[in-house]
Amino acid sequence: MNEPITSYVGLDIHKDTVALAIAAAGRATPRFVGTIHPSLAELCKALRPQRCSPAHTLRV
């Protein structure tokens, strides 16, 4: 757990959708990324272009 935090991911979870927002570490303003289907594959797909690598380290 010595890796620095690079981004915070906010999830607003509902039955059929998940709203996704990302904020850089520190006091950065979060930015809305979009709405996805509620699956881990969709979450990973949405995070990849945002320079958040869930394959590297993703703590939930």
Q: What is the pLDDT of residues 2-60, one digit of tens each?
A: 667 778 889 999 999 999 998 888 888 999 999 999 998 998 888 888 766 555 555 55
pLDDT at 13: 94
All structural domains of the chain with their residue ranges: 7-50
Closest by alpha carbon to 36, among 57, 50, 56? 50
* 19 strand-pairing partners: 12, 35
